[in-house]
Amino acid sequence: MKNKIILFNVILLTVATLAVFFTGIGVSNTSHHEEAEKKIIDITSVYAANYNDDVTENVPEDIRITVIGSDGIVLKDSDDQSVVGKTHLDREEVLAALRDEPQVYTRYSSTLGKDMVYYAVKVPSVADFVILRVATPVASVNGYVRKTVPTMIYVLLCALFLSFVASFFMTSGIVRPLKEIKDNLTAVNNGTYRETVRHTKDGEINAMLSEIDDISRKLQTSIRTATEEKERLDYILSNISDGIVALDGEENVNLINPNAARIFPAGAEGKRYTVLTADPSFNENVAECIRSHREKSFEFTAEGKDFLVCMKPLEKGFTVIVLSDITAMKQGEKMRSEFFANASHELKTPLTAVKGFNDMISLSTEDGQIRDFSQKIDREISRVVTLINDMLDLSELESGKPVSPVKTDLRTIAEEVIESLSPLAAEKEVTVTVEGNAEAFLEREHAVELVKNLTENGIRYNNRGGHVWVNLSQTDEVSVLSVKDDGIGIEEEHLGRIFERFYRVNKSRSRETGGTGLGLSIVKHVCEIYGADLAVSSRFGVGTEITVTFRKNQT
């Protein structure tokens, strides 16, 4: 910076000096020309007034006199006799004199080899008139230049030297505090800045240093806070049990914590989310979440482990993906399901045998009291067997066994179910009707379980003389099964839990009706297997309606 300032000052001084020099030359040149023009007019007037045939004799050295005839032919010349007899009609001053408009002209004379000032007038003579032309050189201007150039060069060199010295000391005084400012800013950038004592004599520089101190304190506080927060966040992300992936607005991986890095390939940061896995379901779910800007969750299997993936869109286009390891939970569910199925299966055989022995006792005894006890035993055993059957059905649904859907006529299934439940409906004095037609893709056994559990619930939890409506409908996109009753209804606080296993809204009423508490759980699992939508609406004391919607593209 110092060198630039010194160079700038030297160049500026040189340009200014040269400008003054050439301006002086221009002014002097103009002044000398004006003096020469005035001088030549006066001289011409004198020679014209005293014109005679010897006018070209004894002419001063710096004066040239030429006599030209009216035809433009040179008659006499005081400096160059070789031009005598030649025409001068091409000379501007001659033409001006012939027009009686005499005017001064300056041009280079090839004869004399110098710039000359010319002026011509008509002078009366014996032969009508002649033209008297007077010329004088402008050599005195060049002499001025030759005299002033050495002085100007000397002055310029002295000025440049003084300018260099002055600029050196001046820029040192300016650059030193600026260098201190630069060093301070560098220290701020490196985080090593320490407050300095202002010792310069420049109040503005001191004010700038004071502002740097203030800014530095604020920056260091902000940087320290940001660093602590980042370290805290990094510590949390590194030690949290879940895998976390953050996508930016360009759908690129912006952040991935160590647990997520163990699930996905290395080097995913900065790349599009599709590099995380080739699993089409995972990528489709991420794309849908980003596109719809709605939260989404699904299960994902990688490296032999099961994960629950929860995605949430954030502001500014960011999306957070959280992967929770549910392998142990899934294995526990599988073990419980297997135990559930095995225990149910093992219990069913002895209970069936007990029921058979009880029936034999009831048939072989004549004792009325024993017969009453036997009937009660039979009723309770039937409840337990029904419960075990439901448990086995639910276990099979939860086993994840592949299904083979076929086009199933829901009207036929509904009629068969109503026929099988007619004894229960008659006992409860409930009327069951089916209306409409619909077809859906699912296994027949599952269709039976679905319609049976919904219809049976409508009968069991109804009032005497009540009604259950099984309504079927379909469009090009969906098939809809709706089971509606005018029974006891469900209070609003229970609606969110009625599909849980063994959940009963009213335990005493369930025992009276003979329900197992697994019917709606079976319904829910059937819907999940086939991707059907399940909805419930109910008003306590008015009735309940449960609707199952099958999409036609489910196969």
Q: Where among 341, 373, 397 does a domain terminate?
A: 397
Query: How many angstroms separate the CA atoms of 42 and 546, rounded?
Result: 129
pLDDT single digits (tens) 392-435: 666 666 666 677 888 889 999 999 999 988 988 998 899 999 99
Q: What is the three-class DSSP state of 78?
A: coil
Regarding whether 424 and 384 lie in a shared domain, the answer is no
Supply the pTM of this predicted model. 0.42
Q: Is residue 56 part of a domain?
A: no
Choose among 288, 234, 282, 243: nearest CA to 261: 243
Q: What is the pLDDT of residue 508?
A: 46
The string of DSSP letters for 201-226 reads: S-HHHHHHHHHHHHHHHHHHHHHHHH
All residues at 6 or more sequence positions from 108 whose CB lies less than 8 Å from its CB, including other chains? 114, 115, 116
* C-beta of residue 330 within 8 angstroms of C-beta of residue 306: yes
Say which residues have a Cβ less than 8 Å from residue 35's Cβ, sequence separation at least 6.
none
Domain contains 204 = no
Do the domain assignments include residue 54?
Answer: no
Give residue 279's pLDDT: 87
Identity of the amino acid at 107? R
Distance of alpha carbon 244 from alpha carbon 318, whole angstroms: 13
Q: Which amino acid does the sequence have at 99? A: R
CA–CA separation, 439 vs 402, rounded Å? Answer: 21
Residue 172 Cα distances to 166, 176, 179, 182, 208, angstroms: 10, 6, 10, 15, 18
Q: Find, among 74, 67, 63, 68, the residue nearest to 40 by Cα.
A: 63
Candidates 102, 159, 169; CA nearest to 133 is 102
CA 253 to mean position of chain CA atoms: 14
Q: What is the pLDDT of residue 176?
A: 66
Beta strand 467-474 pairing with 439-442: unpaired
Tell me the chain's radius of gyration from C-alpha atoms.
59
CATH of residue 365's domain is 1.10.287
Q: Is the dihedral of CA 483, 488, 491, 496 positive or negative?
A: negative
Residue 43 pLDDT: 87
Question: Of 364, 397, 430, which residue sits at a domain end?
Answer: 397
Last residue of a domain, one of 397, 415, 439: 397
Segments in the chain below pLDDT 50: 140-141, 508-510, 554-555
Does some domain include residue 46? no
Q: Domain range spanning residue 545? A: 402-551
Number of domains in the chain: 3
| Residue 489 backbone zone (phi > 0: left; psi -120 to 50: alpha; other: beta) | left
- The pLDDT > 70 percentage for the chain reads 75
Residues 357 and 428 in one domain: no
Q: State both tokens at 43.
A: 């001289």
- Distance, in Å, from the CA atom of 148 to the CA atom of 32, rounded to the nearest integer, reads 15
Q: Which of 466, 472, 465, 505 is nearest to 485 (CA)?
A: 466
Please tell me whether residues 284 and 409 are part of one structural domain: no
Those residues whose C-beta lies under 8 Å from the C-beta of residue 115, and which sit 6 or more positions away, are 106, 107, 108, 109, 137, 138, 139
Strand ranges (E), 248-366? 253-256, 296-302, 305-313, 319-325
Q: How far apart are CA 404 and CA 443, in angstroms?
A: 6
Query: Residue 398's closest CA among 458, 338, 475, 456?
Result: 338
Claim to verify: residue 379 and residue 284 sit in the same structural domain: no
Question: Between vectors from CA 284 to CA 279 and to CA 288, what angle results, nearest 5°?
Answer: 155
Six token digits for residue 97: 């004199």
Residue 79 lies in a domain: no
Phi, psi of 144 (to 5 degrees): -60, -40
CATH code (residue 421): 3.30.565.10
Is the domain of 420 the same as that of 497?
yes
* Cβ partners under 8 Å of residue 250, min gap 6: 317
pLDDT at 480: 92
Write the CATH number for 312: 3.30.450.20
For residue 389 the two structure tokens come to: 């059957």
**Same domain membership, residue 527 and residue 475:** yes
Within a domain: 119 = no
Whether 369 and 321 share a structural domain:
no
Let me know whether 475 and 538 are in one domain.
yes
3-state secondary structure of 310: strand
What pLDDT does 466 receive? 92
Bridging pattern class, strands 467-474 and 431-435: parallel
**What pLDDT sits at residue 435?**
92
Task: Output the six-digit token pair for 304.
Answer: 């032999």
Instruction: Indicate if 357 and 462 belong to the same structural domain.
Output: no
Q: How many CB atoms lie within 10 A of CB 107?
A: 13
287 and 382 part of one domain: no
Q: Are 410 and 517 within one domain? A: yes
Residue ranges of E strands in 126-242 = 128-137
Tell me the C-alpha distance between 102 and 116, whole Å: 16
* Residues 522 and 410 both lie in one domain: yes
Q: What pLDDT, on the 0 to 100 scale, is given for residue 433?
A: 92
